[in-house]
Structure 1
């Protein structure tokens, strides 16, 4: 806020890391520090599990067009500049890989396929102040639907109990849950102008024998849910597949 008020050229934020990396170096030792990243990409990565910066600080900087530079409090270095999008940034297909271990998945099977079912399922969840992340609905041939969604792992047991109550009210066939999952996301503004990123991601995971449980996409993000035991393998395989260990050519 002060940097915006002073019309500063940039706001420097000193942290315990020397910049924003392509992914967590503790999971992938070949992770590379990014020289630059867009506000939009940083917002996505922060919301998806990257803990370098708070979401609010990135939102504020983007709103008032104040570039941020993430620097280390313990060593000299150029850090990472969080700034506006330009044509050079769009050349990179993927800028980073974020992941979130704090997810749990819930499924209600055999729900009558009629209007208002999504509200009946998620209404009690929302009233209990439980935040829902990913949602998938599949319609079967027998006039029923299956409904799957994810919540924070801390809310798993509470959400499961609510969903079981809802299943009894709706006459659903079954409720199941899994708190041993992880969400892995590719982030990059280059997705707007390049095709084939999703297929490369899915092929890479398939080659490693990793089954995808859920998929969610946005303009600059592709997220998948997989079993938590595959986190390190999936992140390292995707990091290699998109050549994130290689510096972008000038």
Structure 2
């Protein structure tokens, strides 16, 4: 097939959720890789499995509206023209929670000792940060889905006792905001530009995670809308590249 057309209640894939940023722009094209990242990070236009299947069998997808005519958004493989887009979109996830085990002995096997019981409870872990202090202890922080927060907190209290750690803290009022774009591969300074834009709005970053085409930050949930709009403006996503 030349392409697979998927009709939905929206007329394509947007730079971000128009309900949060009214200046969000419909994308003419986006890569499979970018769409997979955005879907996994909270964008709900397409199911991840559909994008994976289309990419595996090299069948371009076109997202179209059931109710209105229009070209929609083509999801396909990366080419030279698409490489010019620095950032394709901003995804966000409201269903995040953060947990920290403080004062854990800094020795081999600690990560497994903490995350093993979490995995045994079928709780999926997302971002992980470990900080080492001067007294040979470490603070181990990770995020989970907000629905899993109470159970994870309960498990970590037992882990804390087993490891003789200082205490367990948590926060279930956080969000994850992510920049996605294949242009990150060939352009430096994206992270610093992102962090500077957030700092200018006095938005504190709690955690950071990066990959080849993605930068994610964890923020207090009260800053979600402001952060998305700030980054959308900072990277001029309302303008076609």
Q: Structures share a fold, TM > 0.5? A: yes
Structure 1 residue ranges (4+ consecutive) displaced by more than 4 angstroms after TM superposition: none
1:49 to 30, 33, 42: 42
Give the 5 Å matches for 1:25-174: 25-174=18-167
Aligned to 1:3: none
* Distance (Å, rounded) in 2 between the aligned partners of 1:51 and 1:84: 20
Partner Cα separation in structure 2 for residue 169 and residue 56 of structure 1:
39
- Using the alignment, how far apart are the partners of 1:166 and 1:198 within structure 2? 35
TM-score (norm 2): 1.00
Match of 2:215 in 1: 222
Q: CA deviation at 1:88?
A: 1.2
| TM-score normalised per structure 1 | 0.96
Equivalent residue pairs, number: 241
Which secondary structure does the structure 2 equivalent of 1:51 belong to? Answer: coil
- Structure 1 residue 92 displacement after superposition: 1.2
Aligned residue in 1 for 2:196: 203
Provide the C-alpha distance between the structure 2 equivalents of 1:153 and 1:174, rounded to a whole number of angstroms: 20
Distance across 1 between alignment mates of 2:74 and 2:114: 43
User: Offset at 1:247?
Assistant: 1.2
Q: Which residue, 206, 209, 214 being the options, matches 1:213?
A: 206
1:191 and 1:163 map into 2 onto residues whose CA distance is 36
1:247 aligns with 2:240: yes
1:53 aligned counterpart, secondary structure: coil
- Residues 121-165 of structure 1, C-alpha deviations (whole Å, 9 max, x = no match): 000000000000000001111000000000000000000000011
1:12-43 Cα deviation digits (max 9, x unpaired): 00000000000000000000000000000000
Could you tell me which runs of 5 or more consecutive residues in structure 1 were left unpaired when the two chains were aligned. Answer: 1-7
SS in 1 for 2:23: coil
Q: Unaligned stretches of 5+ in structure 2?
A: none
